């Protein structure tokens, strides 16, 4: 029950112990005893190591590898490698965390293509080779993955995540447009105008640093919705129209640009949905190309996304089942892991990285019982020593040891101050 509260109810280990203690007070027969929260952490780490070790075995059916890096927390970041059977890709739905398992978990201060290649080669030699590898276009992972799949005995290949392909197409076009930058600047100024006023409910969404061009659709939709609201107030001849128009000054000139931006992103969102739910196949690529026909023929965005799709046509024609074209599931896992680490007050990646395998698959009582009977605390300590190494906290404790408490009656005599 303790681990169920942590992983299924998004509670911290300390909070889950308090919930169990409350249940013990309400109904003593509901549970027999309440473990300390540190005991729950130990159980979770043993469960995570068990799931990781069980996943690192050859699979009898074809499978797909998904790889990505976590964000850097402290001085380290982790390379996470997932495995999903090919059969799960062609079910007509986007992948969920219950359908994948973590087979690789490597931490490091610095990463480059050579190190990624070394880690993946060792992992695939142990777990078998995937039919293909899906990841984003990050420079620190792409080179290592491409070099790895070249050595695959089964002619494996690398597929770029469709979301990043679409985001790059938007970036390559809109980053050059001054009107796009002007609109983003206007949104920033408008937040300053509207906040702490009676029109604060009209605040534009904040621009994201990561995935800025995909999330900019929300700002464009906000702009059109806000203009429609202003026009409705003007038709009503409301008394607050002049103040509202002053607060929203400059927005009306962007209306045509916003309509075009929403049209483009609506079309591209439909393309991404097709790839994420149906995979990459001859049929899905054809459906995507038909969807792209909603954009003008000379549109640079349409041409770039079309080139992304056409690149995989020769590959899908030689495959009986659709290929995975999205790494959204690992993005979801990384986001959930970040939330879990923050809930436990982690300022760096340490042994708590073993909680990530617990977030995938089904968590059953039998699995927990098997993990606690087969994995010892010493096994976790050994794995952490070999894979995590020294953390900032352990370094701090070594360099700044705490003073040992003195026994009663052994006070140290203080030197008297020289009073002259």
Q: Residue ranges of the alpha helices (H) in 237-364?
A: 241-247, 255-278, 282-292, 300-310, 313-317, 328-343
101-108/132-135 β-pairing: unpaired
Instruction: Quote the pLDDT of residue 89.
Output: 83
- Answer yes or no: are the C-beta atoms of 96 and 329 closer than 8 Å: yes
Percentage, residues of the chain above pLDDT 90: 45
Closest to 278 measured CA to CA, from 307, 299, 304, 309: 309
Contact assessment for residue 327 and residue 66, using Cβ atoms and an 8 Å cutoff: yes
The number of residues in the chain equals 420
Domains, the chain: 55-161+327-361 (3.30.420.10), 166-317 (no CATH)
> pTM here?
0.83
pLDDT at 402: 75
Q: Cα(221)–Cα(205) distance, rounded to whole angstroms?
A: 10
- Secondary structure of residue 81 in the 3-state scheme: strand
Strand partners, 73: 76
The whole-number pLDDT of residue 394 equals 73
Alpha carbons 3 and 94: distance in angstroms, whole number: 27
Enumerate the β-bridge partners of residue 192: none
Which pLDDT tens digit goes with each residue over 88-117?
A: 887 678 889 999 999 999 888 888 889 999
Look-up of token digits 């006070």: 411
Phi, psi at 161, each rounded to 5°? -55, 135
Query: Is residue 338 a contact partner of residue 70, using CB atoms and an 8 Å limit?
Result: yes
Give the pLDDT confidence score for residue 182 in this predicted structure: 94
**Residues of the chain with confidence (pLDDT) below 70:** 1-12, 20-21, 23-33, 73-74, 91, 209-212, 342-348, 403-420
Longest dimension (CA), the chain: 96
CA distance 292 to 268: 7
- Confidence at residue 10, expressed as pLDDT on a 0 to 100 scale: 64
Distance CA 302, CA 290 (A): 11
What is residue 389's predicted lDDT score, i.e. its pLDDT? 73
Q: Name the CA radius of gyration of the chain, rounded.
A: 27
């Amino acid at each position: 029950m303790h681990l169920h509260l942590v992983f299924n109810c998004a509670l911290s280990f300390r909070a889950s112990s308090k919930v169990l203690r409350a249940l013990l007070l309400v109904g003593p027969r509901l549970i027999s005893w309440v473990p300390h929260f540190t005991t729950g952490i130990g159980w979770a780490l043993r469960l995570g190591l068990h799931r990781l070790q069980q996943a690192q075995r050859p699979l009898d059916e074809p499978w797909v590898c998904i790889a990505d890096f976590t964000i850097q927390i402290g001085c380290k970041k982790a390379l996470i490698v997932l495995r999903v059977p090919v059969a799960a890709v062609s079910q007509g739905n986007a992948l969920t965390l219950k359908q994948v398992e973590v087979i690789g978990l490597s931490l490091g201060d610095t990463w480059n293509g050579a190190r990624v290649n070394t880690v993946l080669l060792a992992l695939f030699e142990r777990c078998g080779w995937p039919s293909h590898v899906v990841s984003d276009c990050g420079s620190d992972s792409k080179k290592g993955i491409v070099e790895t799949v070249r050595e695959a005995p089964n002619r494996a290949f690398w597929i770029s995540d469709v979301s990043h392909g679409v985001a790059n197409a938007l970036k390559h076009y809109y980053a050059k447009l001054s009107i796009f930058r002007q609109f983003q600047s206007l949104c920033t100024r408008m937040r300053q105008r509207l906040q702490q006023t009676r029109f604060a409910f009209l605040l534009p969404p904040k621009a994201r640093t990561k995935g800025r061009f995909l999330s900019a659709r929300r700002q464009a939709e906000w702009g059109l919705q806000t203009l429609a609201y202003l026009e409705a107030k003007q038709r009503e001849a409301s008394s607050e129209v002049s103040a509202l128009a002053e607060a929203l000054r400059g927005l009306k000139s962007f209306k045509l640009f916003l309509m075009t931006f929403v049209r483009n992103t609506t079309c591209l969102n439909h393309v991404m949905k097709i790839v994420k739910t149906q995979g990459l196949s001859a049929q899905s690529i054809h459906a995507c190309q038909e969807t792209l026909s909603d954009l003008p023929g000379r549109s640079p965005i349409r041409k770039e996304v079309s080139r992304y799709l056409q690149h995989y046509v020769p590959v899908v024609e030689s495959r009986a089942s659709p290929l995975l074209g999205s790494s959204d599931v690992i993005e979801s896992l990384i986001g959930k892991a970040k939330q879990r680490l923050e809930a436990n007050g982690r300022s760096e990646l340490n042994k708590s990285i073993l909680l990530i395998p617990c977030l995938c698959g089904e968590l059953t009582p039998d699995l927990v019982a098997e993990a606690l009977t087969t994995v010892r605390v010493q096994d976790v300590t050994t794995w952490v020593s070999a894979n995590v190494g020294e953390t900032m906290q352990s370094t701090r404790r070594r360099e700044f040891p705490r003073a040992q408490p003195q026994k009663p009656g052994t006070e140290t005599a203080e030197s008297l101050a020289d009073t002259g």
